[in-house]
Structure 1
Amino acid sequence: MHYVSVEGLTKSYGINPLFSNISFHINEGDKVALIARNGVGKSTLLRILAGQETADEGKCWINKEVTVALFEQEPQFNEDKSVLENIFHLEHPIITAIRAYEAAAESEDGHQIAEAISRMDELGAWDFEAKVKQILGKLNIHHLQNPVKSLSGGQRKRVALAKTLIDIGFEHKHTLLMMDEPTNHLDVEMIEWLEHYLNAENITLLLVTHDRYFLDAVCDEIWELERENMYVYKGDYENYIEKKAARIESEQASIDKARNQYRKELEWMRKQPKARTTKSKSRQDNFYEVEARAKQKMEDAKLQLEVKMSRLGGKVVEMKKVYKSYGDLPILKGFDYTFSKGERVGVIGKNGVGKSTFLNIIQQLETADSGKINIGDTVIFGNFSQQGLQIKEDLRVIEYVKTFAESFPLAKGGSLSAAQFLELFLFPPDKQYTYLSSLSGGEKKRLQLLTILFRNPNFLILDEPTNDLDLPTLAVLENFLSDYQGCVMIVSHDRYFMDRLVDHLFVFEGGGEVRDFPGNYTQYRIWQKEQEQTVAETSANQPDKKQQENNTTANEAVARKKMGFKEKREFELLEKELPALEKEKEQIAEQMSKGDLSFEEISKLSDRMVAITHELETKEMRWLELSEMQS
């Protein structure tokens, strides 16, 4: 089925053209990745297709049976409403049935409950409810009654993603899903689940992403916006790189040919008298076409990274028997490690296991409970944090850079002024006088990287550096880090970025345990799956007969027992109580992490944490029993 046809689409902002006279088609089942530099118009093109913006010229036809869903980088919510209200905002028969069931359960009216259950059965709403729970669970979305305005940036992004995936489940089966950087703020497990979900659902997709493994797993075609044109490449990212190189080589040969012709035609133009014959007038018109081709520039401005790294001495960082805990939550248990020159370490683990605390301890931004941390005299840390630019006032870009230094020393000798250094980072003179608040997310990331390298660090710590960076800039950053002579420590959900740069991993397994794995992320995942398979095979071959008998007895008892109204009510209350307990647990952990509590306060919070953990375990077991009865 034909979904979208675009012909001669053109869009500019002021005097800056984004794309000109581009045409393309999207058919049912297509999965296309759209890539380009920041500011070239990827997000604008998606908004035009979604009807949120209009093009300057051209036609955009969308099949009337197709619903267009857009997941944006900056999601829009009703801020005063809860997470639940924002996610389930559609007026749809299934939504209405679920709401009616909830209302009937609250009223405890047996007749209404029977009608509501009948309606849920009729619409197949139970199956969709299970799908919704899967989406919310995999994206770690709880506390559905909290107002959206209380959420962090990462939580907002995950709620918006859940809202989009649930919406397209309610909508007509013919849906074009457009996603703008969906993997930002997702951990690796969430990204892998999203890959599987998008493939399993057989969705027609137009995707903007910088995650190359995600791109390869989900898409089979790549569109690139470059110099106002669109280029189409079938296949994966590696094939795109090869085909693009061949295209550029061909275009460069064409330009060289045009330049030779231009020199000859220019000489003829200079010799011609002012009076033109028809024939010479035709040649004159052709001259301007040749001139335009000859003056094309194939080499776009590229981010250049050349730093004069401060000398790194023999002693880098030594960590001996380092312990760190927040109350009953251990972060490090006797961690021992000595860093060497040029070491490249990846740091991975689930959220909340202490990765950021570990990075802060190394930089002495936080203190350990015990142990020794010796930092070499020559070590200069460069901290690329998720917090982004730290600004006290809204300065112009050039003013902000000059607060660090007026000039920058180069690796090959000499120095650059702040303005010249900005140009290397793709900030032309007119952009240098833009206020920081007016910069895009990618531009702010570039400026943040610039200010870090301006200090000539020899130990780089990069916490999620790939968010908001375009693929060309990422490629240059990777090449720079590959040749970088100092130490590099990376926390990233971008598996391609991690695989290319790290030699080994610190795997935070929880409970203060840190595994030093000798390999990159993909090698670790292969090893992890092999371990899981071995454990599963061992369990299958040596079952615990007593446990098996107990499980069989319990399952038979549950199977014999049907869920009555009392159990249904208990089940619904548990679904409200569990998120509340989880929230309180998170709040206690947050309080304990501040480090400004007295011993008595820490003791009380620790006791409450133990009590909540025990209560959660009990209630979760009961929830599982009731859910088995329900199914």
Structure 2
Amino acid sequence: MNYLNAEHISKSFGDLILFEDLSFSIHKDQKIALIAKNGSGKTSILNILSGKEQPDHGQIVIRKGLRLAFLDQEPKLNSSLTVEETINAMDIPILRTIEHYEKALKDPDNTEAYQKAFEAMERDNAWEFENQYQQILSQLQLHNLSVKVSTLSGGQKKRLALAQTLLTQPDILVLDEPTNHLDLEMIEWLEDYFSKTDITLFMVTHDRYFLERVCNEILELDHGKLYAYKGNYSYYLEKKEARLLVEASELGKSKQLYKKELDWMRRQPKARTTKSKSRIDDFSEIKAKVHQRRKEHEVQLEINMERLGSKIIEFHNVSKAFGNTNILDGFDYTFRKGERIGIIGKNGTGKSTFLNLLTNSLQPDGGKIVIGDTVKIGYYTQKGIKVKPGQKVIEVIKAFGDYLPLAKGRQISAQQLLERFLFDRKKQYDFVEKLSGGEQKRLYLCTVLIQNPNVLILDEPTNDLDIVTLNVLESFLLDYPGVLVVVSHDRYFMDKIVDHLFVFRGHGIIEDFPGNYSDFRTYDSSKSEISEKLAPVTSTITKSENINKANKLSYNEQKEFKNLESKIRSLELDKKHLEQKFTNPELSQDAINTLSQELQEIITAIETKELRWFELAEKFESS
């Protein structure tokens, strides 16, 4: 069913033509992503679809009675209202139905008005609205409904705006960078919600895993032309490569870029569907994968980084808290040459605080941080660049340096670095205030890189960058020889760039995980499943540890009792792994028979060990 048609739309600002004569349609249940370089007019297209802007030429034709909702990149909320008041202030039919019903209750003598209001409540199923919005707010982790919007963080405001949008129950949902300002847990929740819900979407996002797992069509705006790809991100990469192959030969670099990206996508595991079978207690497999990933990369840009001594940055028993909230609690770590650390965790667990401690812009409450004499830090913050009126792009970067030194006496000039990050020579002489938000972020990134730091710290570098720029940045960072520390909610970016993770759990707890984000997600999911299954085991063992001396278990029995949990865990993982093999449609009958025998052996082993565990537990309980 056709919902909306964009017919020959055009938009320009003065002499700048964003796009012209574009036509496309949106049909029921389509989940469409729009991909284009920053400054190509993506946000303008979304504003035109939502009615916030009008096209210079052409028109938008929407099916009569259709409900369209728009989630802006920076949602505008009334800061004086509470969370609950914000929901109740929405202009949606169901709230008007509830308002009419409450008004009818105040005038019981008007039975006709009451009957109409009651029937409207039944028809719209308005009785459940309060439960619905409370459930959605809970899923989005907005539990305190009485808190003022003015006190919410950027991520909480984005989640509140998202709740508003979902509660309108639109026929078409238009989204501008929906994952910006959301932590990884919320991004995965939203991804799961959209992938399983029959909802029609039209969005702009740079999150490539989101594109991969949610979208079923991609529109690409490239050099003023619109290309449609009926599939997800992998399909888009494949067909994009095929299209470039038949185009002009000067697009060789783009062909190679997309080919590398496609190869990488094909090699990646599905983070939430593939389960690790032996990573709970042993990280050697993940470490081996990390080293292999680094070996596979071919260095293209040999940066001649300033010398980095043996002492880089050391944390010695560092503590930091804000009020009753612990950020670091006796944290120790010594940074090593060439390591690439990703930092993940929920919003508010202290990731940005950690970066500020790293850069000495914030002092610890306890312990000390030692920074080596040869360390030169480059710090990309979320604040972005300060735009000065009348300043040109090339002038901004030259204020920080004229060139970046490469190996063997070579160098890359400021102009060449800008070109690498998609500022052509004409664009380099544009005024900075004319740049889009994403282009300004791209320029800011160049100002940090041109200073040739040997420790590079990036706080959410992927926000507002288009996918083409992200590919360029990833390629640059893979060549970067120094210490790299990255905070990012972009899972795809983290998978390609980092070797291990600092996982901020909150309450001052930081885990060092030796792998990238997909490795961690796989490990964490497996661990969670087993923890739930063996919760009674864990609680009983905890109890046993407190009264070991008084029970009747011998020393060997105590040792066996403690080891049974991990053995059962391991067997459960082996069982799940084996069961997944049965989904292969190409299995022969002999292979099925062999797998069945192996599966039965594992099931028998689990039953035997569980029985033994219960024997020991019963003996323990009677002590």
TM-score, normalised via structure 2 length: 0.70
**Counterpart AA for 1:368:** P
**Which residue is 1:309 aligned to?**
305
**Which residue is 1:218 aligned to?**
214
**Which residue is 2:400 aligned to?**
404
* 2:518 maps to 1:517: no
**Which residue is 1:287 aligned to?**
none
* 2:471 maps to 1:456: no
**Which residue is 2:140 aligned to?**
139
Query: Is the CA contact 2:133–2:167 (under 8 Å) kept in the aligned structure 1?
Result: yes
CA distance in 2, matches of 1:300, 1:503: 26
**Which residue is 1:38 aligned to?**
38
1:512–1:469 CA distance, 2 compared to 1 (3 A): same
Higher mean Cα deviation, 196-205 or 421-430?
Answer: 421-430
Alignment of structure 1 residues 386-405 onto 2, 5 Å = 386-390=382-386, 395-405=391-401
Query: Is the CA contact 2:303–2:479 (under 8 Å) kept in the aligned structure 1?
Result: no
* 2:515 maps to 1:538: no
CA distance in 1, matches of 2:118, 2:345: 42
1:90–1:21 CA distance, 2 compared to 1 (3 A): same
Residue by residue over 1:163-200, the C-alpha shift from the partner in whole angstroms, topping out at 9 and shown as x without a partner, is: 22222x2x5xxx12111111100011111111222233
**Which residue is 2:246 aligned to?**
250
1:534 match: secondary structure: helix
CA distance in 1, matches of 2:240, 2:471: 14
**Counterpart AA for 1:185:** H
**Which residue is 2:177 aligned to?**
181
**Which residue is 1:232 aligned to?**
228
Query: Is the CA contact 2:397–2:414 (under 8 Å) kept in the aligned structure 1?
Result: yes
Q: CA deviation at 1:404?
A: 2.6
Residue by residue over 1:41-96, the C-alpha shift from the partner in whole angstroms, topping out at 9 and shown as x without a partner, is: 22222223233333344454322142222222233445666555544444445314
2:246 match: secondary structure: helix
1:468 match: secondary structure: coil
Larger radius of gyration: 1
1:372–1:163 CA distance, 2 compared to 1 (3 A): same
**Which residue is 1:471 aligned to?**
467
1:217–1:465 CA distance, 2 compared to 1 (3 A): same
1:332 match: secondary structure: strand
CA distance in 1, matches of 2:467, 2:239: 16
**Counterpart AA for 1:137:** S
1:393–1:26 CA distance, 2 compared to 1 (3 A): closer
1:377 match: secondary structure: coil
* 2:170 maps to 1:159: no
Higher mean Cα deviation, 7-16 or 327-336?
Answer: 7-16
Residue by residue over 1:272-316, the C-alpha shift from the partner in whole angstroms, topping out at 9 and shown as x without a partner, is: xxxxxxxxxxxxxxxxxxxxxxxx9787899x9875422222322
1:199 to 195, 201, 206: 195
**Which residue is 2:476 aligned to?**
480
Alignment of structure 1 residues 603-614 onto 2, 5 Å = none
1:521–1:384 CA distance, 2 compared to 1 (3 A): same
1:153–1:330 CA distance, 2 compared to 1 (3 A): closer
CA distance in 1, matches of 2:391, 2:42: 28
CA distance in 2, matches of 1:410, 1:241: 31
**Counterpart AA for 2:128:** D
CA distance in 1, matches of 2:214, 2:192: 8
2:349 match: secondary structure: coil
Query: Is the CA contact 1:316–1:379 (under 8 Å) kept in the aligned structure 2?
Result: yes
Query: Is the CA contact 2:420–2:472 (under 8 Å) kept in the aligned structure 1?
Result: no
Q: CA deviation at 1:374?
A: 2.5
Query: Is the CA contact 2:172–2:201 (under 8 Å) kept in the aligned structure 1?
Result: yes
1:467–1:411 CA distance, 2 compared to 1 (3 A): farther
Residue by residue over 1:329-382, the C-alpha shift from the partner in whole angstroms, topping out at 9 and shown as x without a partner, is: 322222222222110111111222222222222222222233343222221111
Structure 1 residue ranges without an equivalent (≥5):
254-295, 545-631
CA distance in 1, matches of 2:382, 2:530: 37
* 2:360 maps to 1:359: no
Q: CA deviation at 1:402?
A: 4.0
1:102–1:71 CA distance, 2 compared to 1 (3 A): same
* 2:497 maps to 1:496: no
**Counterpart AA for 2:42:** K
Query: Is the CA contact 2:244–2:251 (under 8 Å) kept in the aligned structure 1?
Result: no
Query: Is the CA contact 2:35–2:220 (under 8 Å) kept in the aligned structure 1?
Result: yes
Q: CA deviation at 1:149?
A: 6.1
**Counterpart AA for 1:226:** D
**Which residue is 1:563 aligned to?**
none
CA distance in 2, matches of 1:76, 1:330: 31
1:101–1:188 CA distance, 2 compared to 1 (3 A): farther
**Which residue is 1:74 aligned to?**
74
1:518–1:147 CA distance, 2 compared to 1 (3 A): closer
Query: Is the CA contact 1:307–1:453 (under 8 Å) kept in the aligned structure 2?
Result: no
Higher mean Cα deviation, 59-68 or 150-159?
Answer: 150-159
CA distance in 1, matches of 2:196, 2:132: 13
Q: CA deviation at 1:213?
A: 0.8
CA distance in 1, matches of 2:148, 2:136: 19
Residue by residue over 1:134-178, the C-alpha shift from the partner in whole angstroms, topping out at 9 and shown as x without a partner, is: 3323334466566656655444433332222222x2x5xxx1211
1:78–1:326 CA distance, 2 compared to 1 (3 A): closer
**Which residue is 1:574 aligned to?**
none
**Counterpart AA for 2:164:** K
CA distance in 2, matches of 1:416, 1:4: 48
Higher mean Cα deviation, 12-21 or 452-461?
Answer: 12-21
Residue by residue over 1:472-526, the C-alpha shift from the partner in whole angstroms, topping out at 9 and shown as x without a partner, is: 0001111111121111111111111111111111112222221111211122122
1:251 match: secondary structure: coil
Query: Is the CA contact 2:421–2:469 (under 8 Å) kept in the aligned structure 1?
Result: no
Query: Is the CA contact 1:37–1:471 (under 8 Å) kept in the aligned structure 2?
Result: yes
1:74–1:538 CA distance, 2 compared to 1 (3 A): closer
* 2:37 maps to 1:61: no
Higher mean Cα deviation, 480-489 or 522-531?
Answer: 522-531
1:525–1:380 CA distance, 2 compared to 1 (3 A): same
1:333 match: secondary structure: strand
1:500 match: secondary structure: helix
1:389–1:307 CA distance, 2 compared to 1 (3 A): farther
TM-score, normalised via structure 1 length: 0.69
CA distance in 1, matches of 2:78, 2:538: 54
**Which residue is 2:439 aligned to?**
443
Higher mean Cα deviation, 121-130 or 354-363?
Answer: 121-130
1:484–1:533 CA distance, 2 compared to 1 (3 A): same
1:502–1:95 CA distance, 2 compared to 1 (3 A): same
Q: CA deviation at 1:127?
A: 2.6
**Which residue is 2:338 aligned to?**
342
Q: CA deviation at 1:104?
A: 11
Query: Is the CA contact 1:17–1:228 (under 8 Å) kept in the aligned structure 2?
Result: no
1:85–1:411 CA distance, 2 compared to 1 (3 A): farther
Alignment of structure 1 residues 415-426 onto 2, 5 Å = 418=414, 421-426=417-422
CA distance in 2, matches of 1:132, 1:21: 41
CA distance in 2, matches of 1:387, 1:6: 35
Residue by residue over 1:16-61, the C-alpha shift from the partner in whole angstroms, topping out at 9 and shown as x without a partner, is: 4433443333221111111010111222222232333333444543
1:87–1:300 CA distance, 2 compared to 1 (3 A): farther
CA distance in 2, matches of 1:319, 1:250: 54
CA distance in 2, matches of 1:154, 1:404: 32
* Percentage of identical aligned residues: 50
| Aligned CA-pair RMSD | 3.7
